[in-house]
Amino acid sequence: MKKHSVKIAGHPTSISLEDEFWAVIKRIAKEQGLSINAYITEKEKEHPENLSGMLRLEVLRYYQKKLGEI
């Protein structure tokens, strides 16, 4: 697990996630035409309570959509 520094709405914070999750978060942000900071800021507005947990769920949803499960 690695801590990554990001800026959310201009404020620095760190988020701990495994490298595999970061790789997918980067892919999702790129597919949406967003920087990682912009993507996380957008998602944080929807679910501000637990950033690392929310991002893991976003990765799960991403693959569920790819597989046609949702």
Domain boundaries, the chain: 2-66
Write the single-letter amino acid at 69: E
Residue 19 has pLDDT above 80, yes or no: yes
CATH 1.10.3990.20 for the 2-66 domain, yes or no: yes
Whole-number percent of the chain with pLDDT over 70: 99
Are 44 and 55 in contact, with CB atoms under 8 Å apart? no
More confident of the two residues 67 and 47 = 67
Kindly give, in sequence order, each residue whose CB lies less than 8 Å from that of residue 37, ignoring residues fewer than 6 positions away: 6, 7, 8
Range 26-30 average pLDDT = 96
**pTM for this entry:** 0.84
| Average of per-residue pLDDT values in the chain | 89
pLDDT above 90 as % of the chain? 59
pLDDT value of position 5: 87
